Chain A
Amino acid sequence: MPDLLIVGAGPAGLAAAIQAGELGLDTVVVDENTTAGGQFYRQYPESFQEPASPRDPQRERGRQVISRARRAAEFRLGASVWGIDGPDVWLDQGGEPDLVRSHCTLLATGAHDRPTPFPGWTLPGVITAGAAQTLVKGQAVKPGSRAVVAGSGPFLLTVAAHLVAAGVRVVEVVEAATLHEGLRLLPRTLPYPARYVELSRYLTPLLRHGARFTRGCVVAAAEGRDHVERVELEPLRGGPRRTRSVGVDLLCVGYGFSAPTDLARLAGCSLRWDTGMAQPVPRHDRWQATSVPGLLVAGEACGLGGASVSALEGQIAAIGAARQLARLSDPEAARLARPLWARLRRARGFARVLTDAFPHRLQLAELPTDDTIVCRCQNVRWGTVRKAVEEGAHDLNEVKTSTRCGMGWCQGRICGAALPDLITSRVDPGFDHSAVFTARPPLRPVRASTLARALPRR
Chain B
Amino acid sequence: MTISRDHGGTTIGVCDAIVVGAGIVGASCAHALAKAGLAVRIVERDAPARGTSGACEGNLVLWDRTSDPDLALTRVSHRRWAELAEELSAGVGIDIEYARKGSLMVIPESGGIDGARRQCDWLGGQGVRYEWLDAAGVREAEPWLKGAVDGAAYFPDDAQIEPRLATWAQVRAAQRCGATLHAHQPVLDVQSSATGVRVTTGLGVLSADWLVVAAGVWSPEVVRSLHVDVPVRPRKGQIAIIAGSPVQVIHKVMEASYVQTVASDDEQLQVANVVESTRSGSILLGSSREVTVPSDRGVELSVLSRIVARALDFFPDLASAQVIRSYAGLRPMTPDHLPLIGPLREHPRVILATGHEGGGVMGAAATADMVAALIMGAPTPVPPEPYLPTRTLNPAGSHG
Contact = CB atoms under 8 A, between A and B. Distances in A.
A326 interface: no
Contacts of B319: 447-449, 452
B50 A397 contact: yes
Contacts of B320: 447-449
Nearest to B48: A401
Contact of A458 (B54, B302, B311): B302
Contacts of A97: 305
A83 B49 CA distance: 25
B291 interface: no
A35 to B, nearest CB: 24
A411 B301 contact: no
B327 interface: yes
A401 B300 CA distance: 22
Contacts of B322: 409, 445-448
B370 to A, nearest CB: 27
Given A394-B183, A401-B47, A452 B325 contact: no
B20 interface: no
A452 B309 contact: yes
B45 interface: no
B324 interface: yes
A452 B240 CA distance: 11
Given A401-B164, A448-B318, A457 B302 contact: yes
Nearest to A398: B47
B392 interface: no
A441 B322 CA distance: 13
B305 A452 contact: yes
Interface string B294-308: 000001111111101
A445 B321 CA distance: 9
B324 A445 contact: yes
A425 B240 CA distance: 35
A441 B312 contact: no
A442 B243 CA distance: 13
Contacts of B321: 447-448
A216 B217 CA distance: 55
A90 B181 CA distance: 41
B248 interface: no
A404 B280 contact: yes
Q: How big is the A interface, by class?
A: 20 to 34
Interface in B173-190: 181, 183-184
A448 B181 CA distance: 40
Contacts of A398: 47, 50
A440 B327 contact: yes
Nearest to A99: B301
B323 interface: yes
B233 to A, nearest CB: 21
A397 B320 CA distance: 29
B257 to A, nearest CB: 18
B305 A409 contact: no
Interface string B215-256: 000000000000000000000000010111000000000000
For chain B, the bracket of interface size reads 35 or more
A441 B300 CA distance: 9
Contacts of B47: 393-394, 397-398, 401
A455 B325 contact: no
B200 interface: no
A182 interface: no
Nearest to B49: A401
Interface in A61-103: 83, 85, 88, 90, 97
A401 B94 CA distance: 14
Interface string A421-449: 00000000000000000001110011111
B327 to A, nearest CB: 6
Given A83-B301, A411-B324, A448 B312 contact: yes
Contact of A449 (B50, B164, B312): B312
B11 interface: no
A451 B183 contact: no
B380 interface: no
Interface string A343-376: 0000000000000000000000000000000000
A2 interface: no
Contacts of A378: 280
Contact of B301 (A85, A409, A453): A85
Nearest to A401: B164
Given A392-B183, A394-B184, A447 B323 contact: yes
Given A397-B50, A401-B50, A448 B308 contact: yes
Nearest to A406: B325
Nearest to B54: A401
A454 interface: yes
B67 interface: no
A393 B48 CA distance: 10
B324 A408 contact: yes
A402 interface: yes
B325 A407 contact: yes
Interface in B293-352: 299-306, 308-309, 311-312, 318-327
Nearest to A455: B305
A456 interface: yes
Contacts of A456: 302-303, 305-306
B323 A445 contact: yes
B161 to A, nearest CB: 15
B168 interface: yes
Contact of B304 (A397, A402, A407, A441): A441
Given A452-B308, A456-B305, A456-B306, A442 B50 contact: no
Quick one: which of A404, A440, A447 has the most chain B CB within 10 A?
A: A440
Given A407-B325, A448-B285, A453-B305, 20 more contacts: A392-B183, A394-B184, A397-B47, A401-B50, A401-B168, A402-B168, A409-B244, A409-B324, A411-B325, A442-B323, A442-B325, A445-B322, A447-B319, A447-B322, A451-B240, A454-B301, A454-B302, A455-B305, A456-B305, A456-B306
28 contacts: A97-B305, A393-B47, A394-B47, A394-B184, A397-B50, A401-B47, A404-B280, A408-B324, A409-B243, A409-B244, A441-B301, A441-B304, A442-B325, A445-B324, A446-B322, A447-B322, A447-B323, A448-B285, A449-B319, A451-B304, A451-B308, A452-B305, A452-B319, A453-B305, A453-B309, A454-B305, A455-B305, A456-B303
